[in-house]
């Protein structure tokens, strides 16, 4: 696997993307991330360890707690590029993965399948996937 494949595999986890999204707003303690995301301490800590080991986040001690932040400002550029890409192709991504899930009963496992991009469109608007850095949450709209 190439370094880029490992990076995208790391970024492919929805929980890690949520954590990175919150860290893009500034430093957070584990307890802050637990509260904001409604996740267990072990879940947050495990994902932060993965992100730290991959060089995506860093931590600094503050008293007995650690504050986590993005390690590289280029991540913000990557998030922006991802949002632009999903605006252009996001519905196709959702429709493809929804069709695979319906057909197989599980999420797309990355196996190469024949892609039929000419399949009939679903009539309802599919929710656009992604990291959604700009969407409002209950906490940010309060």
Residues whose CB is less than 8 angstroms from the CB of residue 20 and which lie 6 or more positions away in sequence, other chains included = 11, 51, 56, 57, 70, 75, 79, 131
Q: Architecture of 3-70 per CATH?
A: Orthogonal Bundle (1.10)
Burial 14-28 (b: 16+ CB within 10 A, else e): eebbbbbbbbeeebb
C-alpha 37/C-alpha 88 separation (Å) is 28
Domain ranges of the chain: 3-70, 74-141
pLDDT digits (tens, 9 = 90+) for 51-84: 999 999 999 999 999 999 999 999 999 988 888 8
Report which of residues 104 and 35 the model is more confident about. Answer: 35
CB-CB neighbours of 98 under 10 Å: 14
pLDDT digits (tens, 9 = 90+) for 107-138: 544 443 333 333 333 333 333 334 444 333 33
- What is the pLDDT at residue 105? 65
Q: What is the mean pLDDT of residues 5-10?
A: 91
Q: What are φ and ψ of residue 95, in 5° steps? A: -60, -40
Distance of CA 112 to the CA centre of its chain: 22
Confidence of residue 140 (pLDDT cuts 50, 70, 90): very low
Per the prediction, the chain carries an average pLDDT of: 76
Predicted confidence (pLDDT) at residue 14 exceeds the cutoff of 80: yes
The sign of the CA dihedral 100, 102, 108, 111 is negative
């Amino acid at each position: 696997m190439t370094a880029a494949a490992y990076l995208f595999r790391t970024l492919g986890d929805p929980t890690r993307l949520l954590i990175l999204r919150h860290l893009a707003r500034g430093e957070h303690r584990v307890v802050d991330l637990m509260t904001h995301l409604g996740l267990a301490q072990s879940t947050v800590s495990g994902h932060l360890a993965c992100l730290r080991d991959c060089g995506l986040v860093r931590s600094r001690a503050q008293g007995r707690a650690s504050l986590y932040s993005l390690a590289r400002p280029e991540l913000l550029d990557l998030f922006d590029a991802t949002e632009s890409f999903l605006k252009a192709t996001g519905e196709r991504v959702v429709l493809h993965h929804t069709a695979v899930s319906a057909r197989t009963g599980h999420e797309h496992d990355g196996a190469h399948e024949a892609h039929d991009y000419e399949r009939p469109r679903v009539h309802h608007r599919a929710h656009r996937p992604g990291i959604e850095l700009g969407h409002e949450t209950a906490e940010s709209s309060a």
